[in-house]
Chain A
Amino acid sequence: MACKFVSRLSAACAFAGAAIFGAAAAAQEVNVYTTREPGLFAPIAQAFTARTGVKVNTIFVKDGLAERVAAEGAGSPADLLITVDIGALTELVDKGLTQPLATPAVEKVVPANLRAADGAWSALSLRARLVWASRSLPTDGMTYEDLADPKWKGKLCMRSGQHVYNTALLAAMIAHVGEAKAEEWARGLKANLARRPGGGDRDVARDILGGLCDVGLGNSYYVGLMRSGKGGADQKAWGDGVKVLLARFADGGVHVNASGVALARNAPHVSDARRLVEFLLSPEGQKIYAEQNFEYPVDPAATVDPTIAALGVLKPDRIQLLDIARHRKAASQIFDRVGFDR
C-alpha cells in the first residue's frame, strides 16, 4: 500500500513537474524563440499548423535572446530563432548558436544579398525606414542626408538613437560615407530635433499632427498598420494625417532592415523546423507577411499589400545587410558621442 502511495505520489509529482519545470517533448512540434511581436507571428504559425498539423510553440523575448539560448546550451528546446533585426540575427550566428538552414527554399526564393552565403541565416521580410512629413510640406526627392539640413532646425522628430531602427540606419550611413561623415550627419540630426528622442515610430506621426514637428523617421509597416485602421480610429487619423516618402541615400536607395531566421544549433526538431522555414518562404507565408504585417516580402515574386504598394516602388539600398550589422556598434557609439538622446 505504501508502495502504491509512493507510485501515485511520484506520478503526481511527475505531472506537476512537467508543468512547472522544463518543457516536455512531444512529437509533431517546433519551438520558436522570437523577438517578433506575438501578434505579428501568430497568424503565420496558425496557418502553418492548419496546413501541416505541426504545433508551433513560441516565446516572444525582447532583449537577451542570444543569452538565453546560450545559457540553455545543449538541452535548449529552441528550434528556430527569428529576429526582427539583422544585427541580432548575425549575432546569433557569430556566437555559434546556429547551424546551417540547409533548406532548398532559401536559395530558391531569397535574393543572394538577403541571406548568408553559407546558409547560416536568411531574411524573411523587409521593412523600409521612411521619412514621414507634414502634409503641407514640399518634400519631393528627399534623402536621408537632407534631414541634417539646418532648414529643418527644430522640426525633426525621432525615437531614441539607441533604438535598433535608428542605429541600423546610421550603420548604413557609415557604410555609405564613412564614420567621420556619418558622425557629422548624426550631429546635424541632433541639431534639428524638435523634442528629445523617445517613444515609438508612431509617436512621430502623432507629433507631426500635433504641430510639434514637420518631419521624422518611421518604418514602412507602421504606415500600413495605421492607415488600414487595424490600430483603431485614432491611429488611422495619424497615418492618414502624414505624408510618407520613400527617402533614399544621396548615392543609393531606401534603407531596409530585415526580419530573419536561423536554425538553432541544438534544435531538437530539425526537420519540422525546416518545414516551417519552407512555409515562411512559401507564397502563402510571404502573403501573410505582406497582408498581416504590411512588410515587404523577401520573395521578389510575392505581392506587396496595396496600402504599402501605394507608397511607390521600393528601390532598396545597395548596402549589404551584413555591412549594416557590422557597423552597428560604431553607430551606437556615434549616437552617444553626439549626445543624441539627451
Chain B
Amino acid sequence: MARFDGFSAIGLAGAAVAVAPVLALAVIAMQGDGASFGHVLNYVAGDAARETIALLAGVAACVLVVGVVAAWIVTAYEFPGRRAAEVALLLPLALPAYVLAYAWLDLTHPIGPLQTALRGALGYANPADLRLPDLRSLPGAVFVFGLSLYPYVYIGARAAFQSRISAQVEAARLLGARESGVFFRVALPLARPAMAAGAALALMETLNDIGAAEFLSVTTLTTTVYATWINRSDLPGAAQIALAMLWIVLTLVFVERWARGARGYAPEGARRHNPARAVGGPAGIGLLALALAPPALGFATPAVHLARQAAQRVAANGFPPEIAQAALNTMVVALAATVICVVGALVAVAGRRYEPTSLLRNGLLKLSTLGYAVPGTVLAIGLLSVLGGFDSVLRAAFAALGAKPPGLLLSASVFAVVVALTIRFFRLAVAKIETGFERLPLSLDHSARVLGRTPFAMLREIHLPLLTPSIAGAALLVFVDCMKELPATLLLRPLNFETLSTQLYGEAARGAYENGAVAACLIVLVGLFPVAFLTMVGSARAIEATRPRTTAELDGAREAA
C-alpha cells in the first residue's frame, strides 16, 4: 500500500485540474437529447471517420519514416555537417501547422511562384494547360502534417538510437551484419517505444487540428464537432461527439500500451560507445542532403516565403506597433505553462517510479495527461464553465458577507490561459520525462533507498541531475507548443491581451495572411530561442540528446547517494 505523501498530493491536484474541464464537458453533454448524435451518425460520421483514419494512417507512416530515418542517419553515421543537420531537423517545431499549410498552398498554387516558373520553363501560357495535383487534398494534408510533426518521432528515436543500442549496433556490425540488417533487425525494434510515443503525439495533434484541415479541404471528425456546435448551436451535441472521440483516442492509447506489454527497454549497464560510422566524400554529402531534406521542406522553404512577405509588409506599413507586446505576452504565458508542466511532470513521474505498484499514482498520472487528447477549443469550453463556476461562487460568497462582489478573478485572465496550456501540453512533458527516467537503472534508486534517502532527496540529489537533458527536452517541446497554441488562448484570454498566435490569427481570419507574416516570423524566432539555448547548453547533453551515462558518472551518482 502506497503512502499518501507530497507526491500523491501534488499528483492529485494536477489530475483534478486536468479532469475538471472534461467533467464539465460531460455535464454539458448530458443536457443534449442525442438528436445531433443521430444526424452525425447518419450523414457524417462514416465519411468523416474514413477520412480521419486515412489521414491519421498517412501521417503516422510519414512521421515514422521521416523521423526514424532522419534519426538513424544522424546517429549511426558521422559525416560532414552532421551536427548542424541534427539541430536543423528540430526546426519545423517552430512553425504552426496551419502556417505551414498556408505557405505551401501559396507556393504550390497554379498561380504561385513554383508553377508559374515551371510553366515558363515548359512554355505553357495558361495555367489551365498544365494541371498538377492540388495540395488541398488528403495526400497534401499528409504531406503538410508529416513535415510539421515528424520531429516528435525524430526526437524520441534519436535519443533511443544514441543511448540504448550503441552496444547492440556495434555487436551486429562486428558480426558482419549488413547496414540494412542492423537498422531493421537491431535498431528499429529497440526504438519501438520511442517511435510509438512520438507517433501517438503526432496523431493527437493531427486529430485536434482545425486550422490546417480547413485550408487543405479535409473533413475530420473534429470539423464535425465544430459544425455541430457553431452552425447548429448544439453545444451538448458537440460535447457528446467530442467525448466519444476522446474515448476512442484513449482506447487506442491503451491498446498501444497493452501491445507494448511489460517488456523492459531500460539499458542496464549501458556503456559509452560511439558506433557512428564515418562516411566522407560523395556518400557523406548524400547523407547530409537526405538529413537536411525534411527541415528544408518543413521549415526553410516556408520560413523564407514568410520572411519575404513579412519584409514586404514592414516596408509598406512599418513594424506593427502591438507586436512587441504580443511577443512579450507570448513568452510570459508559454514560460509559465512550461515551468508548471515540467515541475509537475517531474513530480508525477517520479512519484510513480518510487511507488510503481500504486494504482493511485498510476491513475493520477494517466488522468493528468488527458488534456492532450482533447481539441483546444473543446477543452477551453469545459474550462470556461469550471472557472466561471468558481467566479460565481466567489461572488456569491462576497454577496453573502455583505461585501461588493468583485469582477472576475479566474475567468478571462492570463491565469486561465496558463491553466489551459498546462492541461493541454502536460502530456508532452510527461512523455519526455518518462523516457528520461526509463533510461536510469533502478539499481540507482535501490542504493539510494538503502542509504536512507527519502524519495524527495533522491529526486533532488540523484535523479534531477541525471535527468537534465530530458527536462530540457520536455521544456523545449512544451514551450514551443504553448507558443503556437491558438484556439484555447484565443477563447480564454483577457481583454486587450494578444499573443503572437492570436495576432497572426486575427489577420489570417480575414484572409490577410501576408499581414500576419510578421507575427508568424516572430513565432519562429521566439521558438528558435529555446532550440538555440538548449543547443548551447552543452551540445552533447542538451535538447534530449541524452548520450548514455558513462559508468563513471553512474558510479559517481551512486557515491553521492
State whether A210 and B109 are in contact (beta carbons under 8 Å apart), knowing that A39-B512, A63-B226, A329-B233 are contacts in the complex. yes
Between A and B, 8 residue pairs with Cβ closer than 8 Å are A59-B412, A63-B487, A64-B381, A72-B391, A77-B412, A162-B223, A195-B136, A196-B217
Closest to B507 in A: A39
| Residues of A contacting B134 in the complex (Cβ-Cβ under 8 angstroms) | 195, 212
| Residues of B contacting A74 in the complex (Cβ-Cβ under 8 angstroms) | 392, 395, 405
CB contacts under 8 Å to A, within B105-135, are: 105, 109-111, 126-129, 131, 134
A34 to chain B, nearest CB (A): 11
State whether A198 and B408 are in contact (beta carbons under 8 Å apart), knowing that A20-B415, A58-B495 are contacts in the complex. no
Q: How far is the CA of A210 from the CA of B234 in the complex (A)?
A: 38
Q: Is B163 an interface residue (CB 8 A)?
A: no
Q: Does B506 contact A37, Cβ atoms closer than 8 Å?
A: yes
Residue tally, chain B, CB below 8 Å to A = 81
| Residues of B contacting A332 in the complex (Cβ-Cβ under 8 angstroms) | 227, 231-232
Q: How far is the CA of A64 from the CA of B385 in the complex (A)?
A: 12
- Give the dominant DSSP class at B's interface: helix
CB contacts under 8 Å to A, within B384-433, are: 384-385, 387-389, 391-392, 395, 405-415
Q: How far is the CA of A72 from the CA of B413 in the complex (A)?
A: 11
Extra 20 A-B pairs, beta carbons < 8 Å, given A22-B413, A73-B395: A20-B414, A21-B414, A22-B409, A22-B411, A23-B495, A59-B495, A63-B491, A71-B411, A73-B392, A74-B392, A162-B226, A164-B231, A198-B218, A222-B511, A225-B510, A225-B511, A232-B313, A234-B514, A329-B234, A339-B43
Q: How far is the CA of A89 from the CA of B112 in the complex (A)?
A: 38
State whether A196 and B136 are in contact (beta carbons under 8 Å apart), knowing that A63-B229, A212-B110, A332-B231 are contacts in the complex. yes
Q: How far is the CA of A232 from the CA of B218 in the complex (A)?
A: 28
State whether A57 and B392 are in contact (beta carbons under 8 Å apart), knowing that A67-B384, A196-B137 are contacts in the complex. no
Q: Is A249 an interface residue (CB 8 A)?
A: no
Measuring CB to CB, which residues of chain A are less than 8 angstroms from any residue of chain B? 19-25, 31, 37-40, 57-64, 67-68, 70-77, 87, 91, 160, 162, 164, 167, 195-202, 206-207, 209-212, 222, 225, 231-232, 234, 268, 328-329, 331-333, 336-337, 339, 341-342
Measuring CB to CB, which residues of chain B are less than 8 angstroms from any residue of chain A? 39-40, 43-44, 47-48, 51, 105, 109-111, 126-129, 131, 134, 136-137, 214-219, 223, 226-227, 229-235, 309, 312-313, 316, 377, 380-381, 384-385, 387-389, 391-392, 395, 405-415, 487, 490-498, 502, 505-507, 509-512, 514-515
Q: Does B388 contact A39, Cβ atoms closer than 8 Å?
A: no
A187 to chain B, nearest CB (A): 13
Q: Does A75 contact B406, Cβ atoms closer than 8 Å?
A: yes
Closest to A17 in B: B409
Q: Does A62 contact B110, Cβ atoms closer than 8 Å?
A: no
Return the contact of A211 from the options B128, B223, B312, B493 (Cβ within 8 A): B128
